[in-house]
Structure 1
Amino acid sequence: MHVTVREDIARSFSEAEAEREERAAGWAARFSDRADRAAGASKAALVEARPRDGPQGLAEFGPVPAGHDGDDDGLLPLKINYDHYQQSVNQ
């Protein structure tokens, strides 16, 4: 690889820093616009989804009955893994 440095077209540090700051300001403005659009779309999607849940949200379905698959609070896989661990330790 061959690199040629031309001192006659070199720019000063302050010029390079000013250009970098301009580019950074442009990036910040673009990302701010994108964030605003994403937030607006998210709020619109939330408003659109709420009426399907009913006036009380998911509460209208009532509590999970005893013996239902979901009444272990999601701990069943942990209990099974712990039981397997205990069996392996006791062997």
Structure 2
Amino acid sequence: MPVRRKVNRRRASASLDAWSVYLEAGFDFFEDLPSAGVLVDETGKPSMEDAAEAWQAYADDLLAIWAISRRHHENDPWAVEQFGLPRGRLRRCR
């Protein structure tokens, strides 16, 4: 019988909704990340490694949402400034 893969519960429980504000602004204004099971430091920020993994997982969905909701004069989202666009993306999200 094959061995069942163990799921990392900390990362599996955090969703697109929990990460969206943090990846856009660089701050979790509504404290969604701790309630979703993401470990944060005393200032309420997750590790850069966790943020980078979340960005790779949710970048395409978030860029599609931001393309509709963001105005042209607004700055790029925090995650784009920190981690860049995901591979295969040539245009800016504005």
| TM-score normalised per structure 1 | 0.21
As a proportion of its length, which structure holds more helix? 1
Greater relative contact order (Cα 8 A, min sep 6): structure 1 or 2? 2
Which protein shows a greater Rg? Answer: 1
